[in-house]
């Protein structure tokens, strides 16, 4: 699966997968969900995010635990 909203750019956050290059790591979003925050609460805390960003972060994390190569868009 390709991810339209997740980028890994070596010049942004050391190449950690982020949401649209916003310096918001996917892991941060997933941790917020794991801590029990709702989508609305996350967006209230991080208003640059959208529901689609959060959904794709969770989808990315789910695929990551399958321990396979993931297609991450690389910024130029």
User: What is the 3 state secondary structure string of the chain?
Assistant: CCCCCEECCCCCHHHCCEECCCCCEHHHHHHHHHCCCCHHHHHHHCCCCCHHHHHHHHHHHHHHCCCCCCCCECCC
CATH number of the 6-64 domain: 1.10.10.10
Give pTM, 2 decimals. 0.82
Q: Is the pLDDT of residue 68 over 80?
A: no
pLDDT in tens, 31-41: 999 999 999 99
Average pLDDT over residues 12-20: 93
The Cα 40–Cα 63 span in angstroms is 24
Q: Is the pLDDT of residue 75 over 70?
A: no
Q: Which residues contact 34 (CB under 8 A, 6 or more apart)?
A: none
């Amino acid at each position: 699966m390709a991810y339209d909203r997740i980028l890994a750019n070596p010049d942004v956050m050391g190449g950690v997968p982020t949401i649209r290059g916003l310096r918001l790591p996917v892991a941060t979003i997933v941790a917020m969900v794991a801590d029990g925050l709702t989508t609305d609460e996350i967006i209230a805390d991080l208003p640059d995010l959208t529901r689609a960003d959060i959904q794709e972060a969770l989808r990315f994390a789910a695929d990551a635990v399958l321990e396979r190569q993931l297609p991450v868009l690389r910024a130029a």
